[in-house]
A and B are shown apart, each in its own frame.
Chain A
Amino acid sequence: MNHAVHKDYAGAKLGMWLFLFTELLLFGGLFLLYAAYLSRYPHEFTAGGRELDVVFGTANTVILLTSSLLAAMAVTAIQRDARGRTMLLLGGTVLCAALFMLIKYLEWSAKIRHGIYPNSPGLAAGPPGESVFFSLYYLTTGLHGMHVLVGGALLTWVASRVRSGAIHGGDYVLLENGALYWHLVDLIWIFIFPLYYLIL
């Protein structure tokens, strides 16, 4: 029996959403730890949060929200078969990702210079709750940062498929799924931001 290759758009989208659920649960474990330790060390978490840079945090929030907007617009653009615009929008999203990672790099290096990193002597000497706060901070933002990198790479690859015409107005589920992944990265940050930067 011979079949034309026959794609299941709804199935591909369902599969992607299921994968996103797994990412949600992955970060969920870290949020579980955060919740438990916040209830145990409210003051130390507050003190720790105060040492994080609200300006950087807010900037990164705005950057990711904007990147999500651009990714969503890219889906609209490909639905309207506007190839050039799609690539521009995807490029913008990836640019935002790069900006986000730059700011993250600045934040982390500033912290490390001040002796705030997992198992640092400074943290070991301080109140236990603060050490917990910063370990969770580095793990959560580190894992999130890895996802930003993966998402950026993914969308870059998607953009190349748009350029080659493999993704177009009649078959764009790859772009849609790539955008969904990107939105997840944004969603995680939407929770990281207030919990780490604003509890003070």
Chain B
Amino acid sequence: MTHEHAPHIIGYGKLTAVWLALLALTVLTVWITRLDLGVNRVWGALAIASAKSGLVIAFFMHMKYEGWLLRWLLFVALLTLAIFIGFTFFDVLYR
């Protein structure tokens, strides 16, 4: 036996609902980038992409039902990437 507790099972219905939400957000992304928002297009697209990833991670990857350790570690990894990109911009933006 490999589990210490009964694993959480996500039903097909819920998974399909998430999928539909993802498709809707995809449509939204395409729409929002047709608008004339200038540089905010990028931020808008990134925001929606983040929302989509959030859904994939939370439900498809079961993160919503995992313990705090895994969530914390994911946060650390994302923060690290954000810092790598962000700190580079101290150079890129101010040359």
Binding site for B on A (CB under 8 A): 7-10, 13-14, 17-18, 21, 24-25, 28, 31-32, 35-36, 38-40, 42, 54, 58, 61-62, 65-66, 68-69, 71-73, 75-76, 79-80, 170-171, 173, 176, 179-180, 183, 186-187, 190-191, 193-195, 198-200
Whether the Cβ atoms of B74 and A65 lie closer than 8 Å is no
Contact of B16 among A54, A62, A69, A194 (CB under 8 A): A69
Tell me whether A195 and B16 are in contact in the complex, defined as CB-CB below 8 angstroms, given that A17-B70, A183-B60 are known contacts. Answer: no
**Interchain CA distance A173-B57 in the complex, whole Å:** 17
Binding site for A on B (CB under 8 A): 1-4, 7, 9-12, 15-16, 18-19, 22-23, 26, 29-30, 33, 39, 41-42, 45-46, 48-49, 52-53, 56-57, 59-62, 69-70, 73-74, 77-78, 80-81, 84-85, 88-89, 92-93
Contact of A72 among B2, B10, B84, B89 (CB under 8 A): B10
Contact of A199 among B41, B70, B77, B78 (CB under 8 A): B41
Interface centre among B49, B74, B80, B88 (most CB of A within 10 A): B49
Which 6 residue pairs are nearest across A and B when measured between Cβ atoms? A194-B45, A198-B33, A21-B77, A72-B60, A69-B19, A9-B2
Whether the Cβ atoms of B49 and A32 lie closer than 8 Å is no
Tell me whether A171 and B19 are in contact in the complex, defined as CB-CB below 8 angstroms, given that A32-B85, A194-B29, A200-B33 are known contacts. Answer: no
Closest to A8 in B: B2
Whether the Cβ atoms of B30 and A198 lie closer than 8 Å is yes
Whether the Cβ atoms of B56 and A187 lie closer than 8 Å is yes
**Interchain CA distance A110-B59 in the complex, whole Å:** 36
**Interchain CA distance A17-B76 in the complex, whole Å:** 12
Contact of B80 among A25, A31, A38, A194 (CB under 8 A): A25
Tell me whether A194 and B46 are in contact in the complex, defined as CB-CB below 8 angstroms, given that A25-B80, A65-B19 are known contacts. Answer: yes
CB-CB under 8 A from B15, the residues of chain A are 69, 72-73, 76
Whether the Cβ atoms of B74 and A21 lie closer than 8 Å is yes
Number of A-B pairs whose CB atoms are under 8 Å? 126
Whether the Cβ atoms of B88 and A32 lie closer than 8 Å is yes
Tell me whether A58 and B26 are in contact in the complex, defined as CB-CB below 8 angstroms, given that A21-B77, A69-B60, A190-B53 are known contacts. Answer: yes
